[in-house]
Amino acid sequence: MIAVEHSVPAGAAVFSEGDEGTGFYVVLEGRVKIFKLSAEGREQILHLFGPGDPFGEAAVFAGRHFPANAVALAPSRLLFFPRAAFVDLVTRRPSLALGMLAVLSRRLHRFARLIEDLSLREVPGRLAAYLLALPGAGSAAPVVLEIPKAQIAGLLGTTPETLSRILRKMSDRGLVRVDGPRIRILDRPALEDLAAGETRLA
């Protein structure tokens, strides 16, 4: 199968909304964000992908153009698979098709949750859920945010200012301790209540 390797510097666009989807990518190294922009320039992040993650496949199967923008957050190496060759391969390998179906299905799940968050939950609840889902949130040690807080805001569908304020409130109320990118979870049950929408941060 023909695949082309591709290097992109931090901050560079991989593709933009509306571009023709001539194939899809796999992250070998680095980090890529997929996002939408509003007319005023606010940003909603749809995905953050790292090594091993494929992206842009939906454009290959559905229509022809990418529905969002892709930018490298760090210097990255990508593998590009041209459309035709990939469709061909999938046709020949049923297990590959099933794997692809599983990937897309999981992505639909995550989107459904994001929609639920944006429409039916408030920012403190989303943030609480996000913190609890962070790798390492189970241990007593502080969690370390892997991305700048502004990106987290974009992920949660809010602004850096609001994120900062809510984090402040959480720490005022003793739910967490914030030290730059290090966040220690102090009151897990309270965070869980927040995430479930059973509590306010009044």
Q: Would you tell me which residues interact with DNA (CB under 7 A)?
A: 40, 42, 122-124, 148-150, 157-168, 178, 181, 200, 202
The least distance separating a second copy from the CB of residue 115, rounded to whole angstroms, comes to 6
89 vs 196, which CB is nearer to DNA? 196
> Which of DNA, a second copy, none does residue 134 bind to, with CB < 5 to 8 Å depending on kind?
none
Sheet holding 32-37, edge to edge: 13-15, 69-72, 32-37, 43-49
**Residue 137 binds what, of DNA, a second copy, none (CB under 5 to 8 Å, by partner type)?**
none
What span, in angstroms and rounded, lies between the C-alpha atoms of 155 and 169? 20
List residues near a second copy by CB under 8 A: 36-40, 42, 44, 46, 57-63, 67-68, 87, 90-92, 94-95, 97-98, 100-102, 104-109, 111-116, 118-121, 157, 196-198
**Is 34 in contact with 47 (CB distance < 8 Å)?**
yes
Looking at residue 151, its amino acid is Q
Six-digit token string for 132: 């609890």
Tokens coding 99? 């794997």
